[in-house]
Amino acid sequence: MSNNIQKRQKVIRQTVRQYRRQLTCEQQNSAADKITHLALAHEIIRSASHLGLFLSFDGEINTNPLIKNLWAQNKKVYLPVLHPFSRYQLLFLNYRPDTLLIKNRFNIAEPTLNVMDVIPITQLDVLFVPLVAFDKQGQRLGMGGGFYDRLLSDWHKKHFYPIGLAHDCQLVDKIPTAPWDIPLPEIITPSKRWRII
């Protein structure tokens, strides 16, 4: 990736993360409720049984209301855990109300690793994807670690449907991309569902 692209991405990350951090608790709660409503009305989510989510960090959309509603519908929820041996890889573990959470090396809450709770990524029906910024072409900019980029490569073949979750303030004109970047087919914000494909 060229230095120019990396520099532009860095500026977008810094700017949008600052926007996100400036949201009040009331704005965050309202956004979480609106996204929960839109997500639960989504036909793919309604028919899904196994859903990968994430716990919010650094001003991301609060996913707790969505998770609680999915549990109430007897759907299984899975959270990402840093793979203990493979760098830049994530495992997804079953997340229940009584699951013990610990902080990983990025200070993000994740379930304690138990191989009995791991689900192969190919068995997820839906994968909700965190992001720092997105554009109307479905391109996403993450935190820069590449964890979700690896998951999203060939997502059609893995049989899950990826959906980005974001605040409206995370929409930018254009995400600088490299040839290998994979757009999301859909992003849900508090104001609407952005269908790309």
The pLDDT mean for the chain works out to: 93
The pLDDT-based confidence of 63 (bands split at 50, 70, 90) is very high
**Which residue has better confidence, 16 or 148?**
16
- The pLDDT assigned to 14 comes to 94
Comparing CA positions, the residue from 189, 190, 151, 188 lying closest to residue 44 is 188
Amino acid at 84: P
**Which residue has better confidence, 51 or 148?**
51
H helices present in the chain, as ranges = 3-21, 25-40, 43-47, 64-72, 147-152, 155-158
- The answer to whether 13 is a known ligand-binding residue is no
- The answer to whether 184 is a known ligand-binding residue is no
Taking residues 143-149, what's their average pLDDT?
Answer: 78
- The answer to whether 59 is a known ligand-binding residue is no
Q: Kind and range of the H or E element at 100?
A: none
- The answer to whether 147 is a known ligand-binding residue is yes
Q: What are phi and psi of 15, to 5 degrees?
A: -65, -50
- The answer to whether 140 is a known ligand-binding residue is yes
**Residue written as tokens 């554009």?**
135
- The answer to whether 116 is a known ligand-binding residue is no
The pLDDT-based confidence of 1 (bands split at 50, 70, 90) is low
Which domains does the chain carry?
3-195 (3.40.50.10420)
- The answer to whether 148 is a known ligand-binding residue is yes
